[in-house]
Amino acid sequence: MSIITIDFANDTSIRPATLLTTGRVLVLLLYLMVPFRLQADDGYELWLKYTRIADPTAAASYRRQLQGWRVVSEGATAEVARTELRRALPGLFGKTIPEAANGVNHQLVIGTSQSPLLASLQHTVVGLAPDGFVITHTRIQGKESIAIVSATETGMLYGVFHFLRLLQTGQPLAEVSSAPKTKVRILNHWDNLDRTVERGYAGFSLWDWHKLPGYIDPRYTDYARANASIGINGTVLTNVNANALVLTPMYLEKVKALADVFRPYGIRVYLTARFSAPMELGNLPTADPLNKAVRAWWQDKIREIYTYIPDFGGFTVKANSEGQPGPQNYGRTHADGANMLAEALQPYHGIVMWRAFVYDHQVPEDRTRQAYNEFKPLDGKFLPNVMVQVKNGPLDFQPREPFHPLFGAMPATALLPEFQLTQEYLGFATHLFYQAPLFKECLDADTYARGKGSPVSRVIDGTLDQHTLTGMAGVANIGNDRNWCGHPLAQANWYAFGRLAWDHQLSPSAVADEWIRMTLHQDAVVVQTIRAMLLATRETTVRYMTPLGLHHIMGWNHHYGPAPWIKDKERADWTSVYYHRADAQGIGFDRSSRGSNALGQYHPPVQALYNDLQQCPESYLLWFHHVPWSHTMRSGRTLWDELCYTYQQGVDSVAWMQTRWKTLHGKVDDALHTQVTALLAVQHQEATWWRDACLLYFQQFSKQPLPTGIPKPARTLEDYQRLEFPYAPGIRPKW
């Protein structure tokens, strides 16, 4: 759709008397010509655009059921619900739906179950998890009504957003009862106080620390609306590579200002705690978690934080990992460190999310085994308000990893899975990569912890081991780019994360469908085309980056582009050769019982699935095995040929996406079409680069020709190896 903006008021060539009529006629004409939107789609409105319902039959049916509406609760969250409905309904229907304070027949009534008007519906929300809601057809004061009701104000707001989603996606207004499957649905911002974002590809941090608390950017409210609309109820504002300054009064004032904006949306604020803060801010000689003065320092600090932010959520902590300080500096355990903070937070109902992303290059042990070695013995040693935060896989957010072996190994500990929405290893904000299939692959994986049917999702929603403190964390892909996430379609990952944290049983396809309808278009063919593209992106990227179980072969430090040749750095576990182990015999990391036995950390049925080279699913082959180049794959091809063809398939799939996207020309917003066309072209170029650089490099070991159909690389291996990207985004600038 093209941009149409006419500023009548500033057009001095039109005299005031005619301005009104001419203006009105033009507006009317424009409205008739462009019924659904008058502005270019810059992505800012996310999935809350509330464009006019395209199907007139559906619109008429909704209208019949919505003669008026009212929110019968009071308070800040009720006001947020009203504001959202005032914004949404005229957009969806093209005209205002009256607020009917005294009720009308066929009305929408919204409130908590404590509202006297909804008292008769109290029973419908009894037993629902906190913040669950019900949408039901009933009679209120004798009038036909649809009621949205929840035991909590936040649940009521979630119900409103769900109702709006039904309208936006053309669903029937049937009875709904919905409650979150996890409790802490939280974004982790790796945002620094200087506004750079570690591994951020969508501009600078949203948090304008310098202007806070005096200036409250309206964008903070839109951020909160977006999160509330998908059930996200927490945000960690700062990078896990933490800066203690955020705990000082000057910054706490600023954090408080953000918390005040987010509170009516049901969003709690959390911070990262730098473990050495008592030394850096408190001038103590130690940060030993068993030291009395250190404990007292944290208690005082936490008390102080709660004077600013009475509903402060707690801390995320990265300790003894990649140079961050931690309890092990003092010979203490992770549990000692986490419990010290947890004890101080406990009176205020705060929690600690203690990260299990730990590995030490001094330890002569497969890096993927180290977190389990460290944390498994601590099971049962953490206080009840501690969650151990575990990345989805045992390495580091690769395009494909098996699930982390800690899932299913710590039944006495609340585990919080961490996904990375920002695309550090997935093509930054340039490549289209819809992550819901990746999230689901992990959530659906069977740990066999309590026999068959013990998926990761049941570990983390608490049903497997009866935990009530549950959650899901996502490393945010949000920055201050106008469209929030850099790539105009990357918002789908933010959306999918929230939806799956609420209900991990939703399918990636259904979530994509919702997002497309709410964000881009309602036309069935457009929806189908984009959904097919989104669903293909995960496998596509795996194929052109890290096929057949390869991993960690990207550029040094910035992680941009292919670099399987990285070796001889200060840390072996940051190089590529450590992971692919290509040699004259074959390629891959033997993690079977004959190798590092990382597989031994999984339950026996999982071991049985992967341990045998002949049985191992080929998508994980080189993750678990060192495989001869001549190995016969299921296709009948040799490993070498299969590797070449899989890289090629990845490149071909991007070309397929380009063709699909081309068919949408004229059907989706022009500016969006142009932007995505350009980004897909870059993705194609980069997929080709990955294929050529990796195959040339691995060919040195396989010593075999490229099979028929694989094009000759455009450049030499040395050319690719010489490429440097001094200003690749996402790493902290060196001053």
Closer residue to ligand GCV, CB minimum distance, 49 or 199? 199
Kindly state the tokens that stand for 333.
């355990």
Residues 346-375 within binding reach of ligand GCV (CB under 6 A): 357
The minimum distance between CB 395 and ligand GCV, in angstroms, equals 9
**Closest listed residue to residue 255, CA positions, set 311, 296, 186:** 311
Among 183, 185, 318, 499, binds ligand GCV (CB under 6 A): 318
Distance separating alpha carbons of residues 541 and 683, to the nearest angstrom: 10
**Closest listed residue to residue 652, CA positions, set 578, 711, 587:** 711
Distance separating alpha carbons of residues 195 and 209, to the nearest angstrom: 8
CB atoms within 10 A of CB 127: 10
Q: What is the DSSP string of 191-251?
A: B-TTS-BTT--SSS-S--TTTTTT---HHHHHHHHHHHHTT--EEE-S-SS--GGGGSHHH
Distance separating alpha carbons of residues 311 and 267, to the nearest angstrom: 10
Kindly state the tokens that stand for 374.
């460290």
The minimum distance between CB 676 and ligand GCV, in angstroms, equals 27
User: 213: cis peptide before it, omega within 30°?
Assistant: yes
> Has 360 been annotated as catalytic?
no
From 153, 374, 396, 642, the catalytic residue? 396
Long-range contacts of 508-512 (CB under 8 A, 24+ apart): 508/434, 508/436, 508/437, 508/439, 508/440, 508/535, 509/535, 511/436, 512/434, 512/436
Distance separating alpha carbons of residues 274 and 256, to the nearest angstrom: 19
Closer residue to ligand GCV, CB minimum distance, 200 or 549? 200
Residue 571's identity, in one-letter code, is R
**Total of residues contacting ligand GCV (CB under 6 A):** 10
Residues 159-218 within binding reach of ligand GCV (CB under 6 A): 190, 198-199
Contact in structure between 478 and 232 (CB atoms under 8 Å)? no
> Which residues, in sequence order, are bridge partners of residue 343?
none
From 424, 441, 446, 461, the catalytic residue? 424
The minimum distance between CB 241 and ligand GCV, in angstroms, equals 5
Closer residue to ligand GCV, CB minimum distance, 264 or 325? 325
Residues 410-449 within binding reach of ligand GCV (CB under 6 A): 424
From 194, 208, 222, 322, the catalytic residue? 322
Closer residue to ligand GCV, CB minimum distance, 178 or 435? 435
Q: What is the DSSP string of 613-636?
A: TTTS-GGGHHHH--EETTPBPTTS
Residue 164's identity, in one-letter code, is L
| φ/ψ of residue 340, rounded to 5 | -60, -45
Contact in structure between 280 and 324 (CB atoms under 8 Å)? no
Closer residue to ligand GCV, CB minimum distance, 190 or 448? 190
> Has 396 been annotated as catalytic?
yes
Kindly state the tokens that stand for 120.
């008769």
Binding mask 99-138 for ligand GCV (x = CB under 6 A): ----------------------------------------
Distance separating alpha carbons of residues 479 and 463, to the nearest angstrom: 35
> Which residues, in sequence order, are bridge partners of residue 418?
391, 473
- DSSP H/E element including 722: helix 717-722
Closer residue to ligand GCV, CB minimum distance, 199 or 301? 199
Binding mask 383-412 for ligand GCV (x = CB under 6 A): -------------x----------------
Closer residue to ligand GCV, CB minimum distance, 77 or 320? 320
Cα–Cα distance list, 247 to 18, 116, 175, 254, 344 (Å): 60, 43, 46, 10, 15
- The full 3-state SS of 322-352, as one line of letters, equals CCCCCHHHHCCCHHHHHHHHHHHHHHHCCEE
CB atoms within 10 A of CB 125: 23
Closer residue to ligand GCV, CB minimum distance, 217 or 322? 322
Closer residue to ligand GCV, CB minimum distance, 159 or 200? 200
In this structure, what DSSP letter does residue 672 have? H
The minimum distance between CB 420 and ligand GCV, in angstroms, equals 8
Cα–Cα distance list, 283 to 175, 251, 319 (Å): 59, 19, 20
Closer residue to ligand GCV, CB minimum distance, 149 or 429? 429
Q: Coil, strand, or helix at residue 411?
A: coil
| φ/ψ of residue 331, rounded to 5 | 75, 15
The minimum distance between CB 240 and ligand GCV, in angstroms, equals 5
**Closest listed residue to residue 321, CA positions, set 239, 409, 240, 383:** 240
- What is the distance in angstroms between the CA of the first residue and the CA of the last residue of the chain? 44
The minimum distance between CB 436 and ligand GCV, in angstroms, equals 21
Residue 502 found at the interface with ligand GCV (CB under 6 A): no
> Has 724 been annotated as catalytic?
no
Distance separating alpha carbons of residues 147 and 298, to the nearest angstrom: 46
The minimum distance between CB 557 and ligand GCV, in angstroms, equals 8
Helix 292-308 / helix 249-262 crossing angle, nearest 10 deg? 50
Residues 608-637 within binding reach of ligand GCV (CB under 6 A): none
The minimum distance between CB 35 and ligand GCV, in angstroms, equals 46
Residue 240 found at the interface with ligand GCV (CB under 6 A): yes
**497-499-501-504 Cα dihedral, nearest 10 degrees:** -110
Contact in structure between 579 and 588 (CB atoms under 8 Å)? no
Within 309-449, residue ranges assigned H as helices are 334-345, 367-375, 436-444
Closer residue to ligand GCV, CB minimum distance, 183 or 318? 318
Closer residue to ligand GCV, CB minimum distance, 91 or 326? 326
The minimum distance between CB 198 and ligand GCV, in angstroms, equals 5
Residue 317 found at the interface with ligand GCV (CB under 6 A): no
The minimum distance between CB 153 and ligand GCV, in angstroms, equals 34
Closer residue to ligand GCV, CB minimum distance, 389 or 592? 389
- Binding residues for ligand GCV, rule: CB under 6 A, are 190, 198-199, 240-241, 318, 322, 357, 396, 424
Which residues are part of the catalytic machinery?
Answer: 322, 396, 424
